[in-house]
Amino acid sequence: MTGTDRTITRLNGIGLKYARQGSLPWKRTPFWALHDVSFDLNRGDTLGVIGRNGAGKSSLLRIIAGIIAPDAGTVEQPYKIRCSMLSIGAGFEPRLTGRQNIMLSGLQLGMPRKLVKERESQIIELADIDDFIDQPVRMYSTGMRARLGFAIAYFIETDILLIDEALATGDEAFRDKATGLIRGKIDSDQTVVIVTHSMQIVKTACTRVIQIEQGKSLSEIGVEETIKRYRETALQT
């Protein structure tokens, strides 16, 4: 398979704007969270997305997932892409139990009910939240949501696994375990995009890194070089 054939998502000049709150509705001015982001995402990539708070990283994941549409630029995909997004506090129906949310997530991604049921025990074992699996998700701590969200995203079949800061949550043992499992995804040719502030996760898990500053993607260089540039940029503020 050639490099072109491996490209499953191509972002060209992506821009995304929000209405800035003002004292009067007709005086509100647009704020461009993203204004020039371009890169190719290839099958089997583990792509880290880094940048300071407010750089537009989480918004970018939602564009890749098709949750929101960009206001400028294009997203090109050779076929319909299934994305599973792991984001703290997002993606769950709080009134449903953890077990019910497992089924809901699988069905929303187009998996047959029988296959979701087959994966259920593995998801519950990895989440390791004991009897809370049959309690409403609104009762879960942030760490428990992260565990269940990661377990669902790990075992539910998708083309792209999108992770938004979730690996930074929970106890150290779980973070280490989750990072190790992501390394396994790399070896299985799973495509993963990780938004994180942890340079350790970037260094150990990512094969490529995109740095976003002020809504714009910087030129892509090696992982170590990007981490160094990011740290130098952070010191300038």
| pLDDT value at 179 more than 70 | yes
For residue 128, give its domain range. 44-68+80-235
Q: What CATH number should be reported for the domain holding residue 216?
A: 3.40.50.300
Q: Which tokens is 68 given?
A: 């929101």
- Asked whether residue 16 is domain-assigned, the answer is no
Helices (H), 88-218: 98-108, 113-127, 142-155, 172-187, 199-205
Tell me the percentage of the chain whose pLDDT exceeds 70: 88
- Asked whether residue 21 is domain-assigned, the answer is no
* First and final C-alpha spacing in the chain: 43
- Asked whether residue 117 is domain-assigned, the answer is yes
Quote the number of domains for the chain. 1
pLDDT of residue 98: 94
pTM value? 0.78
Give 111-159 pLDDT, tens digit per residue: 789 999 999 999 999 988 889 999 999 999 888 888 888 888 788 778 8
- Asked whether residue 121 is domain-assigned, the answer is yes
Q: Are 149 and 87 in contact (CB under 8 A)?
A: yes
- Asked whether residue 17 is domain-assigned, the answer is no
pLDDT of residue 2: 44
Average pLDDT score, the chain? 85
Q: Which residue from 14, 13, 19 is spatially nearest to 31, judged by alpha carbons?
A: 19
- Asked whether residue 125 is domain-assigned, the answer is yes
pLDDT of residue 23: 54
- Asked whether residue 7 is domain-assigned, the answer is no
